[in-house]
Amino acid sequence: MKFAVVVFPGSNCDRDCHHVVSHVLGQEADYVWHQDTDLNGFDAVVLPGGFSYGDYLRAGAVAKISPVMEAVAKFANAGGPVIGICNGFQILLETGLLPGAMQRNNSLRFMCKTVDLVCRTERTPFTGELSAGSRLRLPIANAEGNYTIDDDGFAALKDNDQIVFQYCDAQGEVSDASNPNGSRANIAGICNVRGNVLGMMPHPERAAESVLGNDDGLALFTSALEHLNR
């Protein structure tokens, strides 16, 4: 299977994603430049983390109007699996492929630590190997991870089974104390109604090999492969 790793000026997790797909997962990965307009031949798309366009205006705002995003929207609307990680999630929110918006972390600090997460649905292409209720630990590294959505939008997320990951504590309890940034309902990741587009703030690609001390994130990539091979 062939994964596209989209590269914007300021992306900085593109190589990690490429490495996990090509060396850990053993699949083909190719960089796609933000000026490109063609995703033909790709089976999945990764929007990596970083600071696209220096986070100017708003995180993800300038990436939204880059040529490649029209192709990503077309790919997503055709049902292709798309994962946006960290800045990639922010870009998906800005483009409207996912609902809601990101605000500054309520601490106003850049948060860089490993967090506990609980998976809420296995229906996305990236969570098929996780079961609802299963837990994983992944690193977060962001200043704007405070997920915000209005009451109607939040009700729709719940009704449509779109909440994919929530921050929890080591016992799996989802509480204010385990919320690192003020995100509504401890949301760490959501999908679109159809389920093929996933956005998440934690970085699975940074924890996908046991040599790094944690390979919890690999399940997202193996799930995608399993989904594509089905």
Q: Where does this chain bind another protein (CB under 8 A)?
A: 57-58, 61, 64-65, 93-94, 99-101, 103-108, 146, 148-150, 182
Q: Is 147 helix (H, G, I), strand (E, B) or coil?
A: strand
Shortest Cβ distance from residue 93 to another protein (Å)?
Answer: 8
Q: Which helix (H) or strand (E) holds 157?
A: helix 151-159
Closer residue to another protein (CB): 38 or 56:
56
Closer residue to another protein (CB): 85 or 102:
102
* Structure tokens that stand for 19 in this block: 């490495």
Instruction: Assess contact for 168 and 181: CB atoms under 8 A.
Output: no
Closer residue to another protein (CB): 65 or 132:
65
Whose CA is closest to 207, among 215, 195, 199, 196?
215
Shortest Cβ distance from residue 174 to another protein (Å)?
Answer: 20
Closer residue to another protein (CB): 57 or 132:
57
| 203 carries an active-site annotation | yes
Residue 193 DSSP label: S
Shortest Cβ distance from residue 177 to another protein (Å)?
Answer: 18
Closer residue to another protein (CB): 27 or 146:
146
Shortest Cβ distance from residue 115 to another protein (Å)?
Answer: 19
Instruction: Assess contact for 13 and 91: CB atoms under 8 A.
Output: no
Shortest Cβ distance from residue 58 to another protein (Å)?
Answer: 6
* Structure tokens that stand for 143 in this block: 């200043």
Residue whose entry in the numeric block shows the structure tokens 């914007």: 8
Give me the phi and psi of 45, to 5 degrees please: -125, 135
* Structure tokens that stand for 123 in this block: 């229906």
Instruction: Assess contact for 49 and 85: CB atoms under 8 A.
Output: yes
Q: Is 180 helix (H, G, I), strand (E, B) or coil?
A: coil
- Residues annotated as part of the active site: 86, 203, 205
